[in-house]
Amino acid sequence: MKLALPLRNTSEELMRLTLTALPNIPLIQRGDDLVEIILRGLDDARIELQDNDVLVLAQKIVSKAEGRMVRLCDVTPSPRALELAQQSGKDARLCEVILWDTREILRVRAGLIIVETKHGWVCANAGIDRSNVAPHDENEWVLRLPEDADQSARALRERMRALTQRDVGIIINDSHGRAWRNGAVGVAIGVAGIPAVEDLRGKPDLFGYPLQVTTVGLADQIASAASLLQGQANEGRPIVHVRGVPMTRREGCAREIVRAKEYDLFR
């Protein structure tokens, strides 16, 4: 029966992708050396790092290590923030911090502010997070995205290479809501050492006909895969090791993912 089928790929090696949430990751403090923490986590998981492995870090721990926490009681809302607070029903000081990181406000409804951030991401609250930032009795703290998450990713990659001589890919991921579809998914906001978007234009399909899908969100797909293990209360498992991603490596950066406004039909 099996031989009668038109088999293909019989010489293909088994393609396998393995993701591991690194154990024992401590609560991250400003100034922490994330690469040292990753190396201890890999050690605890008994993973020996290899070239082409990818490490996915939750935005939250990168922001914390970079000291991007803001105490709301230290923030004085501007008139624009007061207006946004009235429109959205959100804390005016939080609105002020959202405005710091906003290029353009796209939609405001009760309980909802969707903006384009200065980095180019379209997301709720400019990616500013209130959950998982600090213990309950200090919940006046909020956390901004890294100033430049691509730069953060590059620095992590360089330091990892310096300490281990391994050339890995780095993704900093966050959870974003989407148009049209329910449920937030992991997305890449910082990338180093791998293509963020793969360009397949001109590649043939199985029959030599041009492929219909021409660019693939590689880093976003890895970010989503890692997010499955991180969960949402994700400082518990904020770092995921990924092995086996089929890709042609190049420098890469998350900026590739930002769709230019003039090519975006849904804003």
Q: Which residues ranging from 53 to 112 are in contact with a second copy (CB under 8 A)? A: 107, 109, 112
Segment near a second copy (CB under 8 A); pick from 24-32, 67-75, 78-86, 146-154: 24-32
CA–CA distance, 182 with 176 (Å, rounded to integer): 11
Separation in Å, CA 265 to CA 212, 259, 260: 19, 10, 10
**Residue whose CB is less far from a second copy, 78 or 132:** 132
To the nearest whole angstrom, how small is the minimum distance from the Cβ of residue 209 to a second copy?
A: 5
- Considering only residues 44 through 63, tell me which ones interact with a second copy, judged by CB under 8 A: 45
**Alpha-carbon span 95 to 89, nearest angstrom:** 10
Amino acid at 232: Q
- At closest approach, how far in Å is the CB of 223 from a second copy? 8
What residues numbered 188-247 form the site for a second copy, per CB under 8 A?
Answer: 196-198, 200, 203-213, 215-218, 220-222, 224-225, 227-229, 231-233, 235-237, 245-246
Cβ proximity to a second copy: between 9 and 76 the closer is 9
b/e burial code for range 123-141 (CB count within 10 A of at least 16 → b)? bbbbbbbbebbbeeeeebe
Q: Tell me 79's DSSP state.
A: H
Q: How far is the CB of 138 from a second copy (least distance, A)?
A: 9
**Binding flag, residue 26, a second copy (CB under 8 A):** yes
What token pair was written down for 201? 């234009």
The two tokens of residue 78 are 């501007």
The yes or no reply on residue 162 touching a second copy (CB under 8 A) is no
Which residue's entry shows tokens 């050492």? 193
To a second copy, the closest distance from the beta carbon of 70 in angstroms equals 15
Of the candidates 174, 159, 167, which has an alpha carbon nearest to the alpha carbon of residue 62?
A: 174
Q: Which two tokens stand for residue 194?
A: 């791998």
Number of residues that bind a second copy (CB under 8 A): 94
Is 250 a binding residue for a second copy by CB under 8 A? The answer is no
Amino acid at the residue 87? Q
Tell whether residue 115 is a contact of a second copy (CB under 8 A).
no
Query: In angstroms, how far is CA 39 from the centroid of its own chain?
Result: 20
* Minimum distance, C-beta of residue 35 to a second copy, in the bound complex (Å): 14
Q: Does 6 bind a second copy (CB under 8 A)?
A: yes
